[in-house]
Amino acid sequence: MSPNKFTIAWVINVCACLGVLEDGRLVHEQLIQSGCESDVFVDSSLVDVYAKCQSMEDAWRVFNKIPA
């Protein structure tokens, strides 16, 4: 059973709340490999984890990829 976009966003939000940047990056890398990266819920969670973990360059990169 694969996680859905809400589960993935929740996991990323937990990483943001705990301030665990490396775990957030691992989830992001797995998303890229699976091709599930372009979802507004997941993308906004990624921006949040990167911003809260002081990785503004990564947050900006994800933000710029979100479709308008």
pLDDT class of 52 with cuts at 50, 70, 90? very high
Considering all CA atoms of the chain, what is the largest pairwise distance in Å, rounded to the nearest integer?
33
pLDDT, the chain, mean: 92
pLDDT tens for 7-27 read: 999 999 999 999 999 999 999
Encode 36-46: b = buried (16+ Cβ within 10 Å), e = exposed: ebebeebbebb
Query: Could you give the CA distance from residue 41 to residue 26 in angstroms, rounded to a whole number?
Result: 17
